[in-house]
Amino acid sequence: MIALRRSTERGGGDYGWLNTRHTFSFDQYYDPRFMGFRSLRVINEDVVAPAGGFPTHPHRDMEIITYVLEGKLEHKDSLGTGSVILPGDGQRMTAGRGIRHSERNPSQTDAVHLLQIWIMPEKNGLQPSYEQKSFPESEKRGKLRVIASRDGREGSVKINQDAQLFVSLLLPGEEVTHQFQQNRHGWLQIAKGAGELNGLKLEQGDGAAISAEDALTIKAAKDSEILLFDLA
């Protein structure tokens, strides 16, 4: 079964410094039909204006992944981490029993386009931590490259949940496939471009909840960047 979540149906708004779209209920946007999917709680598509950003704020008991599509995002946190997240990087922050962080666009001229992803951890009260790795474009071109997983397999960043996040870059007409193990679920997010999921057409910003499907075939209609979550 595949249930589509169309880009045009998402919540969010344009606040000048931030244009944001919420796949699931978040902040002032609430829809009881869309409170998350399995352990996946938040997918926010954000465009932050030049020199804009999120001031220092707290989180707890959440695995937070930031995936930059275009531009750069500067991260600072109460662990002493200072980093710049670039397009294609795998970045994970375990909020655990409490962490504070800020995110800002360091550019004075260019916006930054990113996805903010929250995954509920397998248990609360974890030690806060931060991890970031670079994944070359060649490793994602025409294939599904795991960038986050419970066991850090294939050099991915580790998340404290039985979940995997794959990324793929596809040219028009290219396709990738994914096999699910028994009793697994999926979420597909079209970060850029457009394509088909088992024959169903999706556009940029669309998502799809996947259950009781043995396999997926994802075919690009345009130059595309897609994220696939494999969830318990």
pLDDT at residue number 206: 98
pLDDT at residue number 63: 98
Mean pLDDT of 26-48: 97
Mean pLDDT of 203-222: 97
Going through 23-136 in order, the beta strands assigned E by DSSP cover 40-48, 53-59, 63-70, 73-77, 82-85, 90-94, 99-104, 112-119, 129-133
Indicate whether 11 pLDDT > 90: yes
Mean pLDDT of 165-179: 98
Indicate whether 190 pLDDT > 90: yes
pLDDT at residue number 88: 87
Indicate whether 132 pLDDT > 90: yes
- The arrangement of strands across the sheet holding 2-5 comes to 2-5, 207-210, 185-192, 224-231, 163-170, 145-149, 157-158
pLDDT at residue number 20: 98
Q: Mean pLDDT, the chain, as a whole number?
A: 97
pLDDT at residue number 205: 98
Tell me the per-residue pLDDT of 84-110, one tens digit each, with 9 for 90 and over: 999 989 999 999 999 999 999 999 999
pLDDT at residue number 162: 98
pLDDT at residue number 34: 96
Mean pLDDT of 163-181: 97
Nearest in space to 186 (alpha carbons), one of 213, 206, 161: 213
